[in-house]
A and B are shown apart, each in its own frame.
Chain A
């Protein structure tokens, strides 16, 4: 008999079916992964298993645990889930009660599962098991980092000594190194406790690293189920094939203009943020960027990689003219600037593509208004020329000029990112700064956007500065890589060299944290 048996599961909201006819089984100690993009219904499936579906959701089908159906009574179901099923959610920032110390939150989980041992002994054990120290337990959630919070979540999930651990995108909000550590922790704990794992993610590599058996979910249905090795190496369904291909970042080599002379030079940029303190007494300022030097050549694609909070985004904003350096300077052409004092006449030579395609368009403006906004920097253009530029930019990113009169909410994430790129091109800039250009997109459209960026670079001779934490993406597209830690650049080189022979500790950690390719 299977530990968990889901058969014919469906979840409906009114007339829309979000999950339909999903069936799978989970054996004792097995590690099973569900892969799906946002909106595929994978999270709802996990919530259905734990009886945590939101109000208004109607469930069909059957879910049995050790052959027994889910209890009807809310209290019985709640206690069952506390005892048998542990859950780790995606958002470590909001998943813990902000007003309660970590120890108390773990202790509560222990007390709920009576006769499991004294909390005074269990809590330190659990903290130790998930790699935290006792002093972390005395803190409030906001005093912990994302990775530490996710460890706390795991400790709470383990408190009831469950048979199944359900992890729903547990690492997608974490940076690369932390992600690897948390994944390793989950794997180790599952092996040690002989606990079954139901792992839910959009990330094929994460699933590939953890699970022995996988299912691919698309628009509420399971399209393919099988052993991880066979699904990844020989995907049968077209959708799975597309996902596997997209996870590899195959960017076609294009003939590009040769790398030229220096376009932009960063000379000793430092950025301090004032923090805390009172009128006459200030805390030590936080140094986000610390005396950084580098230069970018014409038509080059330079990547800046590093863990979150290392200062790479701050640096990009200073270069693009959004933030101001505390000291140091940037030289573009013959002009020296320090960030937000970038002269208006030079702003047309520079543009920035943002990470989040949903936040980068004003919902109250038409696409034409938003995409055409940078044309204000070229007041000498006639309105016909401006219109022609708009059409040119939108068509360059593979969209139709007819979309210009529409509003942002009518577009998908991938389309919006294309439009954001169009906005960045509309002034025909020399340098485009790309801040995590694909990390907020679904896996299947990442490849398309990267190919588009490569093609635009070839067509227009653009220079790119790419900010990213994703080594695989960087490897696929960059000519040169800078590695950044705590505001400093710690290593520099060609991607092939750096990833083959990392010198700095951080680079080694980053390379080691890369998950193996699937298939």
Chain B
């Protein structure tokens, strides 16, 4: 089929058209519908992801009941345990049971750690989530202003310095940067601990200090990417017609870019921000290893090596929920900033 999209300008909103008919409620209702549609997509994605994970891990050879009881167990006792664990039920029943359980906060029980999976994951998220959030805040606070500065000083020495730094930062594996930070701040300067973690309820200050180096390590590559994206977006925007219009009104180039350019340039940056946070959460898994932090990553390694499938399954689904939820929030934020997006139909 040949694709012709209808002439959108006239079609989307004839002068005095739909909007005035909807009255004040119009734009808000459209935003609500947009959000609902995205929420539906979010739910479907999660359901399919759960299905994929369940199916993959169900393919595995080996019997968890056998694993728990060891090779010397009698077939009868293994069968009894299988029954207790619900492993005898058909796959679709077990899947539905798993999903319904998760909706009520029950992720099953880890058979190696002998504890509810939800509790184990929740404990580890106390490290992983703050770490991701700190890293995100740092990377935005550093990356965005530097990107704006470089764009405004395009072609000057400062631009070159910022961009060379960013080029290096993008190329640096975050875990290796973490090792370098440890060497400098923990070994040479002895300002901060080289690794390990004090739980928040024992000593909040110590917990915070333990997360400074890891979040810096995570933030550097992200800040570099943000600076580059911000600079490109702003340079792109600077060539737009509406910047020329703003200058014609009587604004200087700098004022025009500040008042009209930055907000428009933030749109592409917002998309990147969403992706970044999602992958930061995944990146913490790697950086935890450098600093011996008891986060989600270490929980998962242990689970993999001990073949604790219920735990692996629960932890991966939690990671996917985090990633997908971040993308959902990014979409909604984007629509809030850009009035054009709210009115566009699917996809």
A and B touch in the complex (CB under 8 A): yes
Contacts of B253 in A (CB 8 A): 74
Contact B337 A99, beta carbon cutoff 8 Å: yes
Contact B7 A309, beta carbon cutoff 8 Å: yes
Of residues 80 to 103 in A, which have CB atoms within 8 Å of B's CB atoms? 80-83, 85-87, 89, 91, 93-100
Contacts of A93 in B (CB 8 A): 9
- Is residue B245 within 8 Å, beta carbon to beta carbon, of the partner chain? yes
Interface flags for A23-55 (1: CB within 8 Å of B; 0: not) read: 000000000000000000000000000101000
Contact B6 A112, beta carbon cutoff 8 Å: no
- Is residue A146 within 8 Å, beta carbon to beta carbon, of the partner chain? yes
- Is residue B340 within 8 Å, beta carbon to beta carbon, of the partner chain? yes
Query: Would you give the shortest CB distance from A164 to chain B, in whole angstroms?
Result: 12
Query: Would you give the shortest CB distance from B240 to chain A, in whole angstroms?
Result: 7
Contacts of A50 in B (CB 8 A): 248
Contacts of A136 in B (CB 8 A): 15
Interface flags for A279-294 (1: CB within 8 Å of B; 0: not) read: 0000000101000000
Of residues 390 to 448 in A, which have CB atoms within 8 Å of B's CB atoms? none
Contact B248 A87, beta carbon cutoff 8 Å: yes
- Is residue B339 within 8 Å, beta carbon to beta carbon, of the partner chain? yes
Interface size counted on chain B using CB atoms at 8 A:
42
Contact B250 A79, beta carbon cutoff 8 Å: yes
Q: In the complex, A252→B145 CA distance in Å?
A: 65
Of residues 1 to 48 in B, which have CB atoms within 8 Å of A's CB atoms? 1-2, 4-7, 9-13, 15-16, 19-20, 33, 37
Q: In the complex, A286→B6 CA distance in Å?
A: 8
Q: Point out the residue from A74, A87, A143, A324 that lies within 8 Å of B19, measured CB to CB.
A: A143
Q: A99-B338, A99-B339, A286-B11 are in contact. Are A94 and B249 (CB under 8 A)?
A: no
Chain B interface SS verdict (over half): helix
- Is residue B246 within 8 Å, beta carbon to beta carbon, of the partner chain? yes
Size class of the A contact interface (CB-based, 8 Å) = 35 or more
Query: Would you give the shortest CB distance from B331 to chain A, in whole angstroms?
Result: 16
Contact B250 A142, beta carbon cutoff 8 Å: no
Q: In the complex, A140→B340 CA distance in Å?
A: 8
Q: A135-B20, A140-B340 are in contact. Are A94 and B242 (CB under 8 A)?
A: yes
Q: In the complex, A308→B14 CA distance in Å?
A: 13
Q: In the complex, A80→B337 CA distance in Å?
A: 33
Query: Would you give the shortest CB distance from A103 to chain B, in whole angstroms?
Result: 14
Contact B250 A112, beta carbon cutoff 8 Å: yes
Of residues 328 to 347 in B, which have CB atoms within 8 Å of A's CB atoms? 337-340, 343, 345-346
Q: In the complex, A208→B251 CA distance in Å?
A: 33
- Is residue A276 within 8 Å, beta carbon to beta carbon, of the partner chain? yes
Contact B345 A95, beta carbon cutoff 8 Å: no
Contacts of B346 in A (CB 8 A): 278
Of residues 23 to 81 in B, which have CB atoms within 8 Å of A's CB atoms? 33, 37
Contacts of A94 in B (CB 8 A): 240-242
Q: A288-B6, A322-B2 are in contact. Are A78 and B339 (CB under 8 A)?
A: no
Q: In the complex, A430→B346 CA distance in Å?
A: 40
Contact B337 A340, beta carbon cutoff 8 Å: no
Interface flags for B304-347 (1: CB within 8 Å of A; 0: not) read: 00000000000000000000000000000000011110010110
Contacts of B302 in A (CB 8 A): none
Contact A95 B259, beta carbon cutoff 8 Å: no
Contact B6 A96, beta carbon cutoff 8 Å: no
Contact B1 A340, beta carbon cutoff 8 Å: yes
- Is residue A465 within 8 Å, beta carbon to beta carbon, of the partner chain? no
Of residues 189 to 231 in B, which have CB atoms within 8 Å of A's CB atoms? none
Complex A-B: 12 CB contacts under 8 Å: A78-B251, A80-B250, A89-B245, A99-B263, A112-B250, A273-B11, A278-B37, A309-B7, A309-B10, A317-B4, A322-B2, A323-B2
Closest 4 CB pairs of A and B: A82-B250, A273-B6, A309-B10, A87-B248
Interface residues of A (CB under 8 A from B): 50, 52, 74-75, 78-83, 85-87, 89, 91, 93-100, 108-109, 112-113, 135-136, 139-140, 142-146, 148, 153, 156-157, 159-160, 273, 275-278, 286, 288, 308-309, 314, 317, 322-324, 340
Other than A78-B250, A148-B15, give 9 A-B pairs with Cβ distance below 8 A: A78-B255, A108-B249, A109-B250, A139-B19, A142-B9, A277-B345, A278-B33, A286-B11, A340-B2
Interface residues of B (CB under 8 A from A): 1-2, 4-7, 9-13, 15-16, 19-20, 33, 37, 240-242, 244-253, 255, 259-260, 263-264, 337-340, 343, 345-346
